[in-house]
Amino acid sequence: MTNPRMKSARREFLLLAVVAITFWPLPVRGNDTVRCRNGAVVCVSAPAADAGLKALESGGNAVDAAVATAFALAVTYPPAGNIGGGGYMLVVPDDAEGSAVFDFREVAPAAATRDMFVEKSGRAAHRRVGVPGTVRGLALAHGRFGKLSWKQLIEPAVALARDGFAVDAALAADLNETLADTPREDRAPGSQTPATAFAEFRRAFGKADGSKWRTGERLVQPELAAVLERIAEQGPDGFYQGETAELIAAEMQRGGGLITAKDLAAYQPVERVPLRGTFRGYEIMAVPPSSSGGTALVEALNILENFDLRAQGRWSPETLHLVIESMKRAFRDRAAFLGDPAVNEIPPRLLDKAYAKKLAATINPRRATPSLELAGDIRITTESEHTTHLSVIDKDRTAVSLTYTLESPWGSRVVVRGGGFLLNDEMNDFNWLPGVTNLEGRIGTPANDVAPGKRMLSSMCPTIVRKDGKNLLVTGSPGGRTIINTVLCVVLNVTEFGMPVREAVDAPRMHQDWLPETVRVEPALLEQQSAAIARLKEMGHRFAKPAVQGDAHSILIHAAQGEITAAADRRISGAARGY
C-alpha cells in the first residue's frame, strides 16, 4: 500500500492514557479490553467482533471466527472491510504444525501495462481497481482449516447488511467527511470516465434526505445483502462468476476500467509457507512476499538484535535513534528488492542475521544516516491508506492474524451498481512511474512495476510471535507503509520491554521508510518525550508533521495462567470480545 492519506491526520482522535493493571479477576469484558480463558476476537467494529465471537461460541475455530469477522467487517466497516479488495491471513496452531499464509492479494488485470499510469488518463478511479481476492482467499483458508459451514459464517454479515446496524461515532464522522470530500465527477485529462463515477457511492452511503449521519442511526445495505447471500449459497463462485461477476464487469466497462469477467474467473489465491525469524529467543511468524511486511519486520528486528535496547530504555534518544535507523535500512531493501515472488527473485540475505549485523555496523550511534547514503545503485531522480486488521485466538490456541484492505480510505470509491459494495484501488500500489525514485518517497524500482496478472507489493504485516513453542502475541495493523513499523513498535514493546498488551498497543509510535528522509511520530510521543526528540534533532533526524499511526488490534496469550488478553486499539474505534 502507498503512504497514508492525510485524512487520518484530520480526524480528532484522543490517545487515552495508559492504565497499568496488575490484577484482573476473570472474566474481564470491557468494550476495548477483554481478559478471558477460551477464545477472543478483536477488531475495529463491535458488530463484526460479535460475529467472530459467535463463531467461537458455536464450536468454530480461529479461522471460522476470522472468516465470520471479515465478512461482517465488509458490512460494518466499509472504509476498509471488504469483499472487493484483498489481503493476507496467517494461521498458526499452537504447536505451529501445519501453519499457513493465505495470500489473497489483488492482481493486475490482463489488460494492464507497465506504463499505464504514466499518462494521467490512466489514473481514473475505475482503472485503479485490481482483481479482488478477498472472497476466494477466505474460502481457501476455510477449506483448509474451517469447522463450521461456510454459509453459517456469512449469515451474520447478511443479516447486518439486510437489517442494518447502528453506526458508531467514528464511522458516522468518516461517512460525513468522505461524502463531503468525494468529487461529483472523476474526469482526469483525456479520461473517458463518466462524470457520474461516484454517484453510486453517494447513493449507497449517503442519506436520502442529504443530512449528515449521526451516531446510532442505522446503515442498511440491501444490495450488498443480496451479494453476500449469493456468496453464502454458492461459495466463492457467487462472487467470481454469475450475477455478481457480471455486475463487476459491467461497472468496469461503464467506467473505463480494465477488469473483465475472464479476469475474475481466473483469479486464484495462493497458500504460502509463513516467513520465520527470531528475536531474543522469540520466534517471529509473518507473511512472505507478495507482502513486504514480514521481510522488512524481520530484517529490522535482526538489525536491532545487535544492540542492548532494554538497557538504554524504551524512550531514550539512543533507543529511538537505533529503531529509526533500522527502519531506514529495512525500507531501503524493501524498495530495492521486494515484489511479487512469481516474477521477482527475493535475495535470501534479507532475512540473514549476518547481513543484518553488517547493516547494524553502518549505524553511527551519534548521527542520523542521510537516506541518500543508503541508495546504492538505486537511481534517485528529481522528479494513502486504508486497511483493517483483526486478531483471533481459539480454545486450542490456534491464532489467526488477518489484514485486508481496499487500499485508500473507501478504496476507489467506486461502488458496483446493483451490488452495493466498494472496489479497491490497489493498482496504486504498483510503481506508477517506472524508473522514478525520488526524495519525496515515490519508488520506481523494477521489482514492483505493473504487469498483467502480477500481485502488487504490499506492506501488510499480520504477525504472530511465539515463545517456548507456543503462541504468545497476535498482532498487525493498517496504515500503508507505516504498517510494518507499527507492528515493529508493538512487537518491541512486548518482547524487548515487557509491556502488557494494553500498554503495548496504547504506546506512541513512529515511522521512517527511507524516503522521504523525515521521521513521522505520533503527537503523544512529541508530548511525552520532548527531550528525546530534541536530542534526535541534534543528531540530524528531521521530523514530519505528527500524525496518528495504525490500528493494532492485538491479543496476548498467557500460557502459564491459561488466560488471554485482547486489546482493541483505541485510535479509531475497536472492540474486543472473548469468552
Cβ atoms within 10 A of the Cβ of 199, count?
16
DSSP states of 43-95 as a string? ES-HHHHHHHHHHHHTT--HHHHHHHHHHHHHHH-TTT--SSSEEEEEEE-TT
> Pairing relation of β-strands 437-438 and 380-381?
parallel
Whole-number Å distance between alpha carbons of 243 and 222: 16
What's 166's DSSP letter?
A: E
Residue listed under C-alpha cell 466499509:
78
Residue 228 main-chain phi, psi, to 5 deg:
-65, -35
> Do the Cβ atoms of 489 and 12 come closer than 8 Å?
no
Alpha helices, H only, 347-422: 353-361
What distances in angstroms separate CA 332 from CA 22, 375, 438, 481, 517, one per listed residue?
Answer: 41, 7, 13, 12, 11
> Do the Cβ atoms of 104 and 136 come closer than 8 Å?
yes
- 518: which 3 cell numbers? 523525515
Whole-number Å distance between alpha carbons of 569 and 405: 17
Residue listed under C-alpha cell 504444525:
97
3-state secondary structure at position 174? helix
The residues carrying an active-site annotation are 387
Whole-number Å distance between alpha carbons of 576 and 574: 7
Residue listed under C-alpha cell 514492483:
448
Whole-number Å distance between alpha carbons of 398 and 39: 9
Burial degree of 555 (CB within 10 A; 0-12, 13-18, 19+): buried
Q: How many residues does the chain have?
A: 579
Sign of CA dihedral 357, 313, 3, 175: positive
> Do the Cβ atoms of 339 and 390 come closer than 8 Å?
no
List the one residue out of 333, 335, 322 whose CA is nearest residue 299: 333
What's 542's DSSP letter?
A: -
What distances in angstroms separate CA 571 from CA 44, 69, 296, 476, 550, one per listed residue?
Answer: 10, 20, 24, 14, 8
Kindly report the three-state secondary structure assignment for every residue of 449-473. ECCCCCECCECCCCEEEEECCEEEE
Sign of CA dihedral 509, 350, 541, 442: negative
3-state secondary structure at position 488? helix
Whole-number Å distance between alpha carbons of 516 and 529: 23
What distances in angstroms separate CA 357 from CA 32, 142, 343, one per listed residue?
Answer: 39, 40, 29
List the one residue out of 470, 488, 503, 458 whose CA is nearest residue 549: 488
